[in-house]
Amino acid sequence: MLTQVLDLLACPSCSAEVTQTSSTELKCSSCGRGAPVTPAFIDMVREPGKPDPAAPTTAQKLMESTAFVRLYEAVMRPFFSRLFAGFGNHIPDYAEEFEIYRKWLKLGEENTGTWLDLSCGAGYFTDQLAGAVPEATVVGLDISEAMLHKAVQETVGRRNVHLVRGDVRQLPFKEGVFDGVNNPGSLHLYADPVGAYEAVFRLLKPGGVYVASTFAVNDLVSSRIGVRMTGIRRTDLKQLPVQLEKVGFVNYRLIKFGSVFAFAVTKPEA
């Protein structure tokens, strides 16, 4: 199991290969950075002897709180989607939302491959991805330990799922290894979304698809209050396709539900 994911991993500090030095640790073959292997996930954030990066916003502090995570999928995610989308708009339920990602990622056309659920949170979509492509390798990555512990429960019994603690600012993977990257509900938490588009582009194989969803800028009072309360960043929908094209992506597709939206883009074939 570990061997499969080890083939994909690279050092988050220097991008060199990582090797397994014991049952509880990986090590970078170049800079020597260690990465703890816990029963739940491989930790590519924690550096032995150093403090973990602090959560930059109130929203991210919540994502790292066990109490919030316990209520995340049933209560918090649906509530915040409505708050930022504008109450009264149709918001897809989990199954409808996954159907959008499944079609864009072309899951099921191929039953194999290597897929990343970037910022997998409590693991709902990681579990769905793993079920849709049971012969494939599915990696769920998140920076929040509390979310990853929930994702372990959500994906229990899925032998093709590997959970990694990682930071989108220093993604711990080799270049060109993923057939698709799924990234729902998370861009608004990143300090540098364009940096994330660039990182995803590098990780994708030629022809690979990037799918994400987040909140658009709007004038709704509920959305503005939500931004002030949580510190999230909303996306300018005019700039988004321009930014993605600048990174190198093609074939931009968009679907909107009020101010919640999802998009897909493709890395061109070589």
Ligand X SMILES: C[S@@+](CC[C@H](N)C(=O)[O-])C[C@H]1O[C@@H](n2cnc3c(N)ncnc32)[C@H](O)[C@@H]1O
Site string for Zn ion, 5-34 (x = CB under 5 A): ------x-xx-x-----------x-xx-x-
Residues 6+ apart with CB under 8 A from 83: 222, 223, 226
Contact status: 100 vs ligand X (CB under 6 A)? no
The tokens 């030095």 sit on which residue?
A: 21
Residue 170: name the closest of 144, 137, 145, 195 by CA: 195
Distance in Å, CB of 38 to ligand X, minimum: 17
Binding-site partner at residue 258 among Zn ion, ligand X, none, CB < 5 to 8 Å by type: none
Q: What binding mask, one character per residue, do residues 55-84 give for ligand X by CB under 6 A, x or -?
A: -----x--x-------------x-------
189 binds ligand X (CB under 6 A): yes
Closest distance to Zn ion from the beta carbon of 29 (Å): 8
Fill in the per-residue mask, 164 to 183: x = in contact with ligand X (CB under 6 A), - = not in contact: ---xxx--------------
Q: In what order do the strands lie in the sheet with 114-118?
A: 42-43, 161-165, 137-142, 114-118, 178-183, 204-215, 260-266, 250-257
Query: Per rule CB under 6 A, is residue 199 in the interface with ligand X?
Result: no
Q: Specify whether the CB–CB gap between 211 and 183 falls below 8 A.
A: yes
Contacting positions for Zn ion (CB under 5 A)? 11, 13-14, 16, 28, 30-31, 33
